[in-house]
Structure 1
Amino acid sequence: MRKFLLSTLIPIGIILLSITGLAQEKTVTGTVTSGGDNAALMGVTVSIKGTNKGTVTDASGRFSIAAAKGQTLQFTYVGYQSQDVVVGDKTTININLPSLSNSMTDVVVVGYSSQRKGNLTGAVSSVDVKKTLGGRPIADVGRGLQGTATGLSVTIPSGEVGSDPIIKIRGQIGSIYGGSSPLILLDNVEIPSIQVVNPNDIESITVLKDAASASIYGSKAAFGVILITTKKGVTGAKPQINYTNNFSWQNVWKNLDMADVDGLKYTVLAAERIGTTSETGAFYYVDRAAYEKAVEWKNKYGNTIGANDPTVFGRDWYVQGPQNRKMGMRTYDPYDYMIKEWAPTQQHNLSVGLKSGKTSFNLGLGLLDQSGMTKPSKKDRFSRYNGSLKISSDINKYLTIRGGALYSRRNKEYAYATNSTTADPW
Structure 2
Amino acid sequence: MSKNLVGLFMLTVFTLISCKNETKTIDEDAQISAVVEEKVEPVELLEFGYNLNNYTVVRDTIKAGDSFGEILQRNNLDYPQIYNIVEGAKDSFDITKLQVGKPYTLLMVEGDSVQLPKCFIYQPNKIDYVVVDFADTTIVKKGKKDVTLVEREATGVIDGSLYLTLQEQGLSTIVAYKMSDIYAWTVDFFRIQKGDRFKVIYTEKYIDDSIYAGVDQIKAAYFEHKGEPFYAFRFETDSTKHIVDYFDETADNLRRAFLKAPVQFSRISSRYNLKRRIAYYGNRIRPHKGTDFAAPVGTPILSTANGTVIASERRGGNGNYVKVKHNSTYSTQYLHMQKRKVNVGDYVKQGDVIGWVGMTGNTSGPHVCYRFWKNGKQVDPFRQDLPQAEPISDSLKVKYLDYIHPIKQQLDAIMFADPKADEEEFITELNQDNAISSKKSN
Fold shared per TM-score above 0.5: no
User: Which structure shows the higher helix fraction?
Assistant: 2
TM-score after normalising by structure 1: 0.21
